[in-house]
Amino acid sequence: MLLIGNGNLITRQQENDFIKDGCVAIDGKLIKEVGTTTALKAKYPAAEFIDAKGGLIMPGLVNMHNHIYSTFARGLSINGYHPKNFMDILAGQWFRLDRELDNAATYASGKVAYLDSIKNGVTTMFDHHASYGEIGGSLGELSRAADELGVRTCLCYEVSDRNGEAQMKAAVAENIDFINAAKQRDDDMQHAMMGLHAAFTLSDDTLAYVKAQTPTGTGYHIHIAEGMADVQDSLAKYNKPIVNRLFDWGILGKQTMAGHCIHIGPHEMEILRDTDTMVVTNPESNMGNAVGCPAALKMFNDYHILIGLGTDGYTNDLLESYKFGNLIHKHHLADPNAGWTEIPAMLFNNNPQMANRLFKTKLGVLDAGAAADVIVVDYQAPTPITADNYNSHILFGVNGRMVNDTIINGQVRMRNREVVGVDEAKIWADAQEQAQHLWQRING
């Protein structure tokens, strides 16, 4: 039995969502109960106790869209790379990087990304992978890294026509191999989706092949309308908007997740709503790539689409993305009231709901029977924390690096900022070595 108490407990339950001097009791992989520190310490006197020291006790965070393969782009300078638009960014940086990424680099980048997730309080990560330098076994390398760090993860491989038919089919095969491997597990720690890059790199022949190969019940993870070139391509080649085209191919649905959806119209939003397709918005990446601001608040409020928050490889700090998500819509709409309730709902409520379309154990809430995924944040408030304002405290006072303790699946993965049972120095050293090799390959 493990108790985590003496803190401001944010349960995310519909009732009893905030407990002053709260405590959570963990028994094995699940939460046993929540209550006050005094009550639970009296009830379980022999339990190990983690003292939050007046900080925040929260459910572990869920990142609904990431790109681990982008890890080794940090600090990278590519010869002759001077992008003027999003297509230049894709072709000049990301496609060049993933064409040189081999399994050794994939594994090393996975170790870093999952380690960084633990340090930022992210206990579940959905990743969208590409490594056209070595396709076969690449998801297995990410799976191995996730198991070694103990992070929940959902993986897929980015199918694309951009490198020819043979590599497209190899990417589909890699997805299927991991889908089948994930089905053999019974620990609810890893799941799989069929990854698709974006409509403009997927011909009708490819979509027909993917549909024929994808196991029944498997959802898709795809980028939609991240840039205007994607929109223009669909209209020019197929005489229909992207969402309509994907609907016609049976790609949309409750198990499918659409990243970005920046340049879509009301009719496409209706299709996403009516098919119960999930959407993930990625504010920092959108701003960094200068691709625009999606109508995320309209999707949330007017169309009632299940929309969540991701990092798109820009960072592993979801609380940083929470801040940017709050700002981008205020700036874009010139409305200081925009996003106050919608953005935290996306991150803290919708992300776990979306993840639970694949994971069976209840995520994102501290409640009896839910996953024992808990984080402790070293935050001392300058003003009172209440049930009405704790999201505001998180928004303005907390970032990922303030996470002090991370518990995943009942296992203490980080204690007092030290990741347990992990040689961090070796992970960083291996990453530096693999990154250097990768950079040399990219620049010839």
The model's pLDDT over 227-280, given as tens digits with 9 standing for 90+, comes to 999 999 999 999 999 999 999 999 999 999 999 999 999 999 999 999 999 999
**In a 3-state reduction of DSSP, which class is residue 262?**
coil
The candidate with the shortest Cα–Cα distance to 126, out of 262, 311, 276, 252, is 311
Any idea which residue has 């303005």 for tokens? 396
Helix, strand, coil percent values for the chain (each to nearest 5): 45, 20, 35
Do residues 413 and 149 make contact, with C-beta atoms less than 8 angstroms apart?
Answer: yes
Q: Could you tell me the pLDDT band of residue 48, with boundaries at 50, 70 and 90? A: very high
Q: In sequence order, which residues have a C-beta less than 8 Å from that of residue 155 and are 6 or more positions away?
A: 127, 129, 139, 142, 143, 146, 178, 182, 190, 191, 192, 193
Label residues 90-109 b or e (16+ Cβ within 10 Å = b). bebbbbbbbbbbbbebbbbb
Query: For the whole model, what pTM was predicted?
Result: 0.98
Give me the mean pLDDT over the 52-68 stretch. 98
For residue 75, with 0-12 CB atoms within 10 Å meaning exposed, 13-18 middle and 19 or more buried, which class applies?
exposed
Question: What does the alpha-carbon distance between residue 427 and residue 424 come to, in Å, rounded to a whole number?
Answer: 5
189-229 pLDDT, tens per residue? 999 999 999 999 999 999 999 999 999 999 999 999 999 99
Residue 148: other Cβ atoms inside 10 A: 16
Give CATH for domain 2-59+374-408: 2.30.40.10
What is the arithmetic mean of pLDDT over 299-306? 98
Phi and psi based region of residue 264 (left: phi greater than 0; alpha: psi -120 to 50; beta: remaining): beta
What local confidence, expressed as pLDDT, does residue 128 receive?
A: 98
Type of residue found at 263: H
pLDDT digits (tens, 9 = 90+) for 354-383: 999 999 999 999 999 999 999 999 999 999
Residue 57: band (very low, low, confident or very high) from pLDDT cuts 50, 70, 90: very high
Chain mean position to CA 301: 22
The answer to whether residues 406 and 372 touch, using CB atoms and an 8 Å cutoff, is no
Three-class DSSP category at 429: helix
In the predicted model, is pLDDT for residue 444 greater than 90? no
- Matching fold, domains 2-59+374-408 and 61-356: no
Pairing of strands 374-377, 56-59: antiparallel
What tens digit of pLDDT does each residue of 139-191 get?
999 999 999 999 999 999 999 999 999 999 999 999 999 999 999 999 999 99
Whether residue 75 has pLDDT greater than 90: yes
Query: What gap in Å lies between CA 332 and CA 317, rounded to an integer?
Result: 23
Give the start-to-end residue ranges of the domains of the chain: 2-59+374-408, 61-356
Q: Name the nearest CA neighbour of 355 among 402, 419, 411, 310.
A: 310
Distance CA 286, CA 226 (A): 8
Buried b (16+ CB within 10 A) or exposed e, 276-290: ebbbbbbbbbbbebe
Question: pLDDT-based confidence at 289, cuts 50/70/90?
Answer: very high
**321 pLDDT more than 90:** yes
pLDDT confidence band for 43 (50 / 70 / 90): very high
Q: What is the pLDDT of residue 346?
A: 98
Instruction: Give me 435's structure tokens.
Output: 């990154």
User: How large is the average pLDDT for residues 393-405?
Assistant: 98
Are 117 and 144 within 8 A, CB to CB? no
Mean pLDDT of all residues belonging to the chain: 98
Give the pLDDT of residue 320: 97
CATH topology of domain 61-356: TIM Barrel (3.20.20)
